[in-house]
Each structure stands twice: as structure tokens, then as C-alpha cells.
């Protein structure tokens, strides 16, 4: 976020999301004859998308992606698949928007372990495969808004974090949740970069009631397939009413805490970033007005600027979490 994008994707390069919708119809068709479970998403090659990579589920996840219900659907037009997988912020793989797509393809995310620690009855380390047995997967189409004032609309596959929290039995002292990303210098060139000002690992946090809100998702896929490495494989957070930097990628530890955790951007530039990071058109970032946003794809001739909504349009579901708080102070 400290560095501006050098390369913009031109609208004409972007695959129309109708292909995605066609693919969904195709998926439904296959599901109807019971064939999807044995068909990897990557096998479905779409017109105009044949030059884009598809991401195979690990063997143990394939069955779980069949017949997923879409349980939450923003009314907005979906962003093109190409935009979602090539315009990324994942500083562990570089500073440019295209770096994660170019440099993360061999990121090894299977097997994957997640440590659950802190204020829980039984601190445990799970293989992701086992953790996912505790939950049902669903598809949710959410708006996704970055503090850099661009936004997308993405169909995520994941599960409600709150449903997992209840099974992990946090103690009465657990007031916050901290999330930590893998920090592996061998695989992540951004960690070796002399230009990086981040104190790795990347970490983020939520207040317990935010973590328990039904909108808060732990996502393991997008567009009907496994999470691409550049989007935070194999598991990441999605908090749709907050700026995208809260949605931490490639999570290896979840810690229940009594005190508010540090978060990467607040540590890096405390004058610019807070803990809450709620989307708020009335509170500008020092370098980006938050009144409007560029809905991607956007170009010089077709900037696609729209008004930003308070809480990214999710106020009905989350405004009550902040009753009595001055959101100018708690930004």
C-alpha cells in the first residue's frame, strides 16, 4: 500500500464475467448428473480464459466444493476472474500488483498447519484438512474494498469463522483474535527484499464480536475453485465491511487474546492506519480520499468511479458493533 501500482490492467485485457456465470451454469448442470465431485475445476476450460491458470483443489478438498450453496450475494456485478487473480496485494511476494501472480505460482500450501493458541480451552495445531472437517463450506459473493480506493466483487468459498470459534471454546478472557501469516524467506521473495519496510510475519486482528459476526469468513477458494496462491492460499480471512488489509492471507496461526493485537499496517505507519479499518467515506486516508472508489476493471477512459458506502454497504449487519464509538478516532 505504500507503493503505487506501476502496471494497470486495461479493460480490454479482462475476461468478461459472463464466462464465469456460464461456468456456474455448467457446474450446476454437472452437479445435476452427479459428476462434479470427480471433476476438478481446472478441467472446465472457458472461452477466452484458456490462457488463465485454474487452481486445482487438493485431493481432500475436491468433494467439499461440489454443490455449494451461495448463501450471501451482493447485488453488484461480479468482477472478472482475471482481475481477481492478477491484481493483488501480497507483499510477501513483492510490491507491484502483478508480482503475486507472477511470483507465487509455486508457493507450496499442501500440507498446511494452523496453530490455535492463547485463550482457548485446548490449544491445538491442526492440519487444514482436519480443521475443515469441523465446518460446512459455502459460497459468498462480497464487495471487497481496498484502502487504496479500488474495489472488486468476488465469489469466495469458505465458512463462517464464528461457527469454528464456538467449537474451539475460547475462554472468558478472549476479547480479541490475532491472525498470523506464514513467513518463509525461501518461498517468499518479498521477505528478502531490501525495499520492504514490514516487520514480518504479516499479522492482523479483530475484536471478538467482529470475529463472531456472521459476515466474517475464512475463505479457502474463489470462483468455484481452490484459493490461488496470490490470493492467500490455502486459507485467508475475509471481512467485507473493512478495508482489504484486514483480510490477512495464508494464515498459520490464530491466537485468542485478552489484549488488542498489533496489526501490520498500524505497526508500519501508525499515523496512517488504525486497528478498526472500517470502510468509511467520511474519514480519508492521508493519501487516498475514501469518498469514492474505482470498481475494477478501471482504466483512464473508463475509470468506473462509484460512491463509497459506509461499512462498504454492510451497515445493517455490522453498524451495531460500533455504537457509541467515534469512528474518526477509532479509524
Nearer to ligand MTE, 116 or 233 (CB): 233
Cell of 114: 494452523
Contact, 43 vs 65, CB < 8 A?
A: no
Task: State yes or no: residue 273 binds ligand MTE (CB under 6 A).
Answer: no
Task: State yes or no: residue 211 binds ligand MTE (CB under 6 A).
Answer: no
Name the nearest CA neighbour of 213 among 184, 246, 187.
246
Nearer to ligand MTE, 96 or 317 (CB): 96
Nearer to ligand MTE, 5 or 299 (CB): 5
The footprint of ligand MTE on residues 180-209 (CB under 6 A) is 181, 202
Among 64, 249, 266, 294, binds ligand MTE (CB under 6 A): 249
Task: State yes or no: residue 231 binds ligand MTE (CB under 6 A).
Answer: yes
Task: State yes or no: residue 245 binds ligand MTE (CB under 6 A).
Answer: yes
Among 68, 131, 248, 296, binds ligand MTE (CB under 6 A): 248
Among 15, 57, 86, 88, binds ligand MTE (CB under 6 A): 88
Q: Is 66 left (phi over 0), alpha (psi -120 to 50) or beta?
A: beta
Task: State yes or no: residue 89 binds ligand MTE (CB under 6 A).
Answer: yes
List C-alpha distances in Å: 253 to 125, 128, 177, 183, 290: 9, 11, 10, 11, 31
Task: State yes or no: residue 179 binds ligand MTE (CB under 6 A).
Answer: no
Name the nearest CA neighbour of 41 among 33, 32, 52.
52
List C-alpha distances in Å: 141 to 77, 157, 195, 262: 10, 9, 35, 29
Alpha helices in the chain (DSSP H): 18-32, 59-62, 81-86, 99-103, 128-131, 161-168, 208-212, 264-268, 315-318
Q: Please choose, out of 89-97, 117-125, 284-292, 305-313, the segment that lies near ligand MTE by the rule CB under 6 A.
A: 89-97
List C-alpha distances in Å: 91 to 99, 165, 237, 251, 288: 9, 28, 16, 14, 19
Task: State yes or no: residue 308 binds ligand MTE (CB under 6 A).
Answer: no
The footprint of ligand MTE on residues 134-163 (CB under 6 A) is 146
Task: State yes or no: residue 112 binds ligand MTE (CB under 6 A).
Answer: no
Q: Please choose, out of 11-19, 64-72, 87-95, 168-176, the segment that lies near ligand MTE by the rule CB under 6 A.
A: 87-95
Give the residue at shortest CB distance from ligand MTE.
Answer: 244
Nearer to ligand MTE, 165 or 238 (CB): 238
Q: Please choose, out of 14-22, 212-220, 241-249, 289-297, the segment that lies near ligand MTE by the rule CB under 6 A.
A: 241-249
- Partnered with residue 294 across adjacent β-strands are 150, 305
* CB burial of residue 51 (10 Å; 0-12, 13-18, 19+): exposed
List C-alpha distances in Å: 132 to 40, 106, 159, 235: 19, 23, 9, 10
Interface residues with ligand MTE (CB under 6 A) are 1, 88-92, 146, 181, 202, 231, 244-245, 247-250
Amino acid at each position: 500500500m505504500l507503493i503505487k501500482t506501476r502496471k494497470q490492467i486495461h479493460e480490454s485485457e479482462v475476461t468478461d464475467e459472463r464466462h464465469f456465470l456460464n461456468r456456474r451454469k455448467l457446474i450446476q448442470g454437472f452437479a445435476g448428473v452427479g459428476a462434479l465431485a470427480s471433476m476438478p475445476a481446472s478441467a472446465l476450460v472457458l472461452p477466452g480464459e484458456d490462457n488463465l491458470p485454474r487452481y486445482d483443489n487438493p485431493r481432500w478438498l475436491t468433494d467439499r466444493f461440489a454443490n455449494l450453496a451461495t448463501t450471501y450475494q451482493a447485488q453488484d456485478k461480479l468482477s472478472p476472474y482475471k482481475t481477481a487473480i492478477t491484481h493483488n496485494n501480497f507483499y510477501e511476494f513483492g510490491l507491484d500488483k502483478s508480482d503475486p501472480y507472477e511470483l507465487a505460482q509455486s508457493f507450496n500450501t499442501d500440507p498446511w498447519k494452523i496453530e490455535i493458541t492463547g485463550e482457548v480451552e485446548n490449544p491445538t495445531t491442526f492440519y487444514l484438512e482436519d480443521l475443515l472437517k469441523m465446518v460446512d463450506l459455502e459460497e459468498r459473493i462480497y464487495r471487497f474494498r481496498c484502502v487504496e480506493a479500488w474495489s472488486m466483487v468476488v465469489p469466495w468459498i469458505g465458512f463462517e469463522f464464528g461457527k469454528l470459534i464456538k467449537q474451539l471454546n475460547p475462554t472468558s478472557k478472549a476479547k480479541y483474535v490475532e491472525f498470523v501469516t506464514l513467513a518463509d524467506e525461501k518461498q517468499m521473495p518479498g521477505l528478502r527484499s531490501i525495499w520492504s519496510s514490514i516487520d514480518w510475519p504479516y499479522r492482523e486482528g479483530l475484536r471478538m464480536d467482529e470475529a463472531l459476526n456472521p459476515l466474517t469468513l475464512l475463505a479457502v477458494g474463489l470462483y468455484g475453485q481452490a484459493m490461488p496462491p496470490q490470493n492467500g492460499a490455502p486459507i485467508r480471512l475475509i471481512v467485507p465491511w473493512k478495508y482489504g488489509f484486514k483480510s490477512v492471507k495464508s494464515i498459520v496461526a490464530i491466537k485468542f487474546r485478552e489484549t488488542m493485537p498489533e496489526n501490520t499496517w498500524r505497526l508500519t505507519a501508525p499515523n496512517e492506519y488504525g486497528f478498526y479499518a472500517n470502510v468509511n467515506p467520511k474519514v480519508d486516508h492521508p493519501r487516498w480520499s475514501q469518498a469514492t472508489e474505482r470498481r475494477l476493471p478501471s482504466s483512464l477512459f473508463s475509470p468506473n468511479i462509484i460512491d463509497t458506502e459506509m461499512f462498504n454497504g454492510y451497515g445493517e449487519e455490522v453498524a451495531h458493533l460500533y455504537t457509541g464509538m467515534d469512528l474518526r478516532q477509532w479509524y
